[in-house]
């Protein structure tokens, strides 16, 4: 019985959902959860060092999700780590969400492969009564060369918005957000 149970709580394999402007989106059900995680994959016509530098720089956030009403950098050590506070402005009657994030950065200058991993940062900023704090979150960017001046980018993540947002709505929204963020990066770096 324990073998059957432990096998049933593994995350599913990735399911292709859609492709838009060269960005492929996948989702899967997380082990033991009713919410899906997401993965966006694309090629960007720009060197990996340049792509990684844009994604890593938390002081340059104009390409981030447009639903943020506040982005406050708490700590930034270039190419090492970052901490920041975000407020999601959600349409009425949904209560706004906030999130504190801890980011670890790794870049291999020999292979030009970079990884940025973000997880919740607890206890840094007190919770507010007028918002719901997101406590289950993870996001990883993987950036690697894919030929001359081409970069393979993967954005993978999971977020539980907490509160009373139906799972079906959250699962629907996680498809659009990665497309918009990756598209913003592509447009910015591929401008001629």
**pTM recorded for the entire structure:** 0.88
DSSP 8-state code for residue 94: S
Buried b (16+ CB within 10 A) or exposed e, 158-185: bbbbbeebeeeebbeebbebbbbbbbbb
CATH code (residue 97): 3.30.530.20
The three-class DSSP label of residue 182 is helix
pLDDT in tens, 117-147: 999 999 889 999 999 999 999 999 999 999 8
- Domain assignment present for residue 4? The answer is no
State how far the Cα of 101 lies from the Cα of 75, in Å rounded to an integer: 10
- Domain assignment present for residue 20? The answer is yes
Total domains, the chain: 1
pLDDT in tens, 144-159: 999 889 999 999 999 8
pLDDT in tens, 155-185: 999 988 888 777 776 776 777 888 889 999 9
For residues 107-126, average pLDDT = 93
State how far the Cα of 99 lies from the Cα of 118, in Å rounded to an integer: 11
Prior bond to 93 cis, omega within 30? yes
Q: How far from the centroid of its chain's Cα atoms is residue 145's Cα?
A: 20
Domain enclosing residue 55, as ranges: 14-190
């Amino acid at each position: 019985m324990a073998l059957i149970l432990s096998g049933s709580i593994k995350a599913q394999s990735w399911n292709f959902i859609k492709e838009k402007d060269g960005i492929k989106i996948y989702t899967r059900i997380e082990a033991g959860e009713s919410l899906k995680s997401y993965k966006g994959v694309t090629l960007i016509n720009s060197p990996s060092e340049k792509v990684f530098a844009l994604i890593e720089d938390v002081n340059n956030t104009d390409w981030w999700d447009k639903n943020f009403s506040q982005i406050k950098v708490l700590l930034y050590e270039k190419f090492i780590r970052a901490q920041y506070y975000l407020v999601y402005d959600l349409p009425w009657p949904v209560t706004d969400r906030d999130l504190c994030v801890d980011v670890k950065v790794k870049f291999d200058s020999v292979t030009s492969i970079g990884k940025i991993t973000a997880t919740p940062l607890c206890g840094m900023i007190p919770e507010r009564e007028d918002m719901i704090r997101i406590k289950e979150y993870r996001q990883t960017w993987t950036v690697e060369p894919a030929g001359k001046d081409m970069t393979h980018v993967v954005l993978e993540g999971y977020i539980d918005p907490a509160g009373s947002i139906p799972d079906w709505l959250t699962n629907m929204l996680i498809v659009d957000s990665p497309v918009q963020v990756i598209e913003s990066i592509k447009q910015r770096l591929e401008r001629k």
